[in-house]
Structures are given as C-alpha cells and as structure tokens.
Structure 1
C-alpha cells in the first residue's frame, strides 16, 4: 500500500475557453462522463409547470422523494439519506466517521482523499495493477485489511478505469472489513450505466451489513450536475440519524425535489440511456481494441480508459489534438498510478463518438 501526494483535476471548460480561445459552448466534453441525451425528457417537458414550488419550503424530511428513490433502487425509504450532491454527503460521512486512516482503491476520483485530508485523516492507496487490467485481486487485497484502517473507499464502477467489482466480491470485502471494524463507503455514481447493474450494485447488501454506505447522484446518469441532488443508501439506522442530525435542513431546494421525483420515474429515458451507452460502449471498445497502438480495459461505466502504446503518442498531445477540434478528453496523467500514456473519454452519440475516434486514431 502506498501513500499518494497531492494531485489535481484536469482543466474545466472555462479554463479551456481562456487558454485556447474556444467558446465553451462549442466544446463537446468527452471528459465529464455525463449522459449524452441530456436531461430527462419528462423533466424538460414538465418542470416549468412547478415553478410556484419555490414559494414554499420543501418537506425537510424529503419523504416523498426518499420513497421515490427507494422504489428506484429497491430498498426501504428509511435507508435513504438526501444530500446537496454526493460531494456534501462525502464530506458529512468523513465528519461522522472521522477516520484517522483511510484506504482508497486507486487510481480513482480525487475528492475522497481531499475530504479525508481536510478532516485530519491520512490516506493510503491500494493500487490496482495494470498487468491485471486494473481488476482487483481480491485475495491479495483482503490480506491488506487490518484494524489500523478506519475507512475503506471504493468507486464502483471505478473512475477512471471503468472496471467494476461484483456484489459477490464486495460481500467478501465487507466480511473482512466487519472483522476489522472498517467502515466502507462505496461510490456508485456510474453503476446505472452498467450492463450487469444487478450483479454490481451493493444496495442489496445494506440489508445484511451495517458497515456500508452507498453514494449515488443525478449528475452523470441523469445529466443534471447543476441540480446538486445526491443521495446515499445504508442499512445502518444509527448512521442515518447521525448524518441527519449534523446536516443543515433544506439543503435541497423545492424544484430539485420535484425534478428528482420526475427523473427517477422516467422509465423511457432510463431505458434509452442504457441502450445507447451499451451499444456505444461495445462498439468503441471493439474499435480501439483492434488498433495495435492502443490498449483498452473492459469498461463497465459510460467511459473507457485507454493506454497509449506508441512511443510518439502521449496523453497531453492527444488532449491538444482533440481540443483543437473542439472535443475535450481526459488526460489521465494527474491520476495516482497513471502517467502520460493514459487517456479517458466517455461515450456520446454514435456520430460524436465516430468524430472523436477519427481524431484520436488518425
């Protein structure tokens, strides 16, 4: 296990606009991992009709929304915790657990490390091995777990590798964590995109384990990052009470509450999203796998990690090439354990994906 130094996110669209002189509205972001269909069709048609909702406070318990989410993920509504995006929930969890030492499976999203450090904790990384296609060696991993660790953080499917841990494997991990009094935070931001969703999601495990909390949100799958609507699932009712006692009331506004209930019930949009991503994930994976200049890793999320095998090709150069054609990919050199030979891009519509592939593979 290794301790990792500070690392940073890639440039956002505003910075790109300033540096390259390209209007951000003209840039197609293959870096944000957001649903290419945009917001829920039903939401677009109906939200404006509820504008009067801002004249009153929302239910501070968010009962109707929690019941809606509970139906969506198939759990009890009392297991649902609402938050102003998953970022607020991560912060609250760290404040409650206050881990002195946390273990993070990496390479992964940097916000976990940041919040743990802000809380005074130390982060260790368990590095996924490229030789294993960044697939977790669960036997080796569980042997590293011990009582000195307070918190384990797992992104599933993982960003940026797009690999996933099955629920069967997660159960093995939870058993060992239970023995060592380790609390487990699982970020399922991208799980709804997975073809084998029912084999990956850990929500059913919350009925049997009280040492797990699962993070979800609406930023990626429902293409609503500006809504700031996040939620978590846990079977630990004491933990739920602790979170609710600490967090501020009404952190979710009235329109976000209504929007959430509309989105989670838009079954046509949900099905169309999954079909599109499934088809394009398979097609793009096969396309890049056939080119000897690239190494691909089987993706479960709505994005793919690619290793550049040509000596004359770097992540920075490909980022430059793509952005000059008004497409933004992720240069993964800032992720722990990755370098200038890795890029990540999400799956958009067929036409846009073809345009990106032509740019990268020329």
Structure 2
C-alpha cells in the first residue's frame, strides 16, 4: 500500500483560510477541477421553482432520472444505477465484488485504494511513466495482468495526468481481463470535458462486455459537488441487482432528482462548457509550451499536469506564490510516483487563467 502524504484538496478552503489568512470566498480554486461556469441558470431557476418537491419522497426506482441519464449517455435505462455521488457507488461496487487484489493505474485518485482497503483488499499500482508522457503503454500493461488480480481500476481521463485511453485500447484491455476473470471499474468523471469524448467513453462497450462498470458524477462537469448525484453504467444485470439490494432506499433526494433531469438535457450549458474548456485548454497549453521553465502533458480533461523544469523552483514554491495571490493550484508531490516538480491546474475563465499565468511565469 502506498503512503499518501497530507495535502490540500480542492475543497479544503477552510484550511487555507486558517493557515494563510485569506478569506475562502476570495480564492479562485484551480485545484477543484470544477466547471468555471458554475451552476447553470436553468438549473438555478428550476430548483427554486420546484422547492416544494422536498415535501414528498422521490420515486424509489428513480425511473425518470435513470431514463434521462440513459438518453444522455446513449445506453438503456436498465443499465443505469444512481447513487449519492460516485463515491457511494465506488464503495457499493467494492463491497459487492470484494476484491482481494486490485490493480490501479497510477498516479490517480486515492479514494479507490481507500475503499479497497476498507473491504480488506490489497492495492497494487501500475505506474504511468513520465518517459511516455504519462500515456498508457497498453502492450506493457497487458503483460502485467494475471489471474491473481480480481479488479482493475482505471480513471479515464486520468486525474492528475489528464491522459486518456481510447475505446479501441479499452476493448483490448477488457478482452485480456475477461481471460483472467478480472472486473474493470472505469471512472469517467472527466470524460465530458474531452474534445474526443466519443472516442474515449467506454459506455458502448457495456453492450458487449459484462466485466465492466463505468462511474460518472455531476460534481465536476455540472459544477454541482454539493448535489451528491452520481451514476454508474453497466450491462451486468446481476451486478445491478446486487448493488440495488445493498443500497439504502432514497439515497438521492427529491431536489437532486429534479436537478439531474434538468442538467442532462441542458444542451446550451453543455455546449458552452465544452467550448470554453476546449478553447482555454488549447490556449494555456500553447503558452506553457512556449515557456522553457515548464513542460505540459497533452491533456484530455479540464485540467493539465505541469512539470517544473527550473531547478530552483518546487511545486510548494508555486503553490505558495499562487495562494498569496488568492489562487489555489494543486501541489502534486502528494500523488504516488510524482515528486515536488509537478503541479496540476484546471482551466477557469479566461481572465482568471491570465492572472494565474502571470503569477506562475513571474
């Protein structure tokens, strides 16, 4: 098990307030990876209009919500499970599958390892290599799979590297996992931000493989982390039945149901988000590529991993510099396989991005 160092999470603004003496409301968080547009106006209007929904229980089956999610993802309603954030679904899935040994492609989100450990399992890591620009070497990776592994966890696009695995490679991985009876959990939290989302998402593979479950949420793309609305897609009906048996009834509240039914059909907001992230991603990467002090790794998500090439500068130095100017970036020295030469930042509104660039390039 890899030891994870303490760090400031994107939601830890209270800690920052205490240590640096800066009001949390004044901090622009480039660390939380949340859509800079904030909650859509349509969603705000709809929720305020339907506040009386909290006077009644939601449908236990969440049929209408699941139908909306299925249409949004391009799958069948029966293939969709909803939960109190994707973290609840990760937990339920781990409880059902109960893996003794899991393989995780890292560096990545630490919650997977925590849940596996809580279930009594052991986590092994397959490290993405800087020499490969943190892109997965599929052939080498496949050679590390064997019958001793019960579960494979893939974040796609990956956090913090922002690298991604195309569906053609994912199919190859699933074929080999099928041979070894390995279940595959794919976290697609950031896939909606990708320019080539149609080539990345593994949802179509759920029609052909019963050893895959795909997790998504509404925290990042729809800027609603407090809503706690997550969902999973799988073609494995036995798995769905097992998870639904373990789930508490009404894990999603009435307002979150209305929010989900609104946001997944909010085409104007979805289009505006994709356009903003796409243009700012291209613009910022171009600026970083011109600066000899930094190296950026080709990002698919709404954030980029940056390597500091200057010997006299560390990730902590840049974190401090930015936070004193009321901007919070992620010091990546806390991730497995990364050191104090890596930072991660998400793409915000152009004026905020310009301010951060001026700060980092100082």
Shorter-chain TM band: over 0.9
Structure 1 position 45, deviation (Å): 1.7
User: In the alignment, which residue of structure 1 is the partner of 2:355?
Assistant: 355
Structure 1 position 40, deviation (Å): 1.8
Tell me, in whole angstroms, the C-alpha distance in 2 between the residues paired with 1:245 and 1:8.
36
Match of 1:10 among 5, 8, 27: 8
User: In the alignment, which residue of structure 2 is the partner of 1:69?
Assistant: 69
Question: Superposition pairs for residues 171-320 of structure 1, below 5 Å?
Answer: 171-320=171-320
The alignment partner of 2:306 has SS state of strand
The alignment partner of 1:69 has SS state of helix
Normalising by structure 1, we get a TM-score of: 0.99
The alignment partner of 1:295 has SS state of strand
Deviates more, 1:43-52 or 1:118-127: 43-52
Tell me, in whole angstroms, the C-alpha distance in 2 between the residues paired with 1:314 and 1:73.
41
Decide whether the 8 Å contact of 2:162 with 2:300 is kept in 1. yes
Structure 1 position 47, deviation (Å): 1.1
The alignment partner of 2:259 has SS state of helix
Question: Superposition pairs for residues 158-173 of structure 1, below 5 Å?
Answer: 158-173=158-173
Residue ranges of structure 2 left out of the alignment (5+ in a row): none
The alignment partner of 2:301 has SS state of coil
Structure 1 position 67, deviation (Å): 0.1
Tell me, in whole angstroms, the C-alpha distance in 1 between the residues paired with 2:219 and 2:23.
23
Tell me, in whole angstroms, the C-alpha distance in 2 between the residues paired with 1:236 and 1:138.
25
Normalising by structure 2, we get a TM-score of: 0.99
Report Cα offsets for 1:162-201 as digits up to 9, x if no partner: 0000000000000000000000000000000000000000
User: In the alignment, which residue of structure 1 is the partner of 2:55?
Assistant: 55
Decide whether the 8 Å contact of 2:81 with 2:240 is kept in 1. yes
Decide whether the 8 Å contact of 2:84 with 2:230 is kept in 1. yes
The alignment partner of 1:61 has SS state of coil
Report Cα offsets for 1:131-180 as digits up to 9, x if no partner: 00001000000010000000000000000000000000000000000000
Once superposed, what is the RMSD of the aligned Cα atoms?
A: 0.7
Tell me, in whole angstroms, the C-alpha distance in 2 between the residues paired with 1:333 and 1:304.
15
Structure 1 position 5, deviation (Å): 2.6
Tell me, in whole angstroms, the C-alpha distance in 2 between the residues paired with 1:316 and 1:8.
13
Q: Across the two proteins, how many residue pairs are aligned to each other?
A: 360
Decide whether the 8 Å contact of 1:134 with 1:163 is kept in 2. yes
User: In the alignment, which residue of structure 1 is the partner of 2:344?
Assistant: 344
Tell me, in whole angstroms, the C-alpha distance in 1 between the residues paired with 2:63 and 2:46.
21
User: In the alignment, which residue of structure 2 is the partner of 1:37?
Assistant: 37
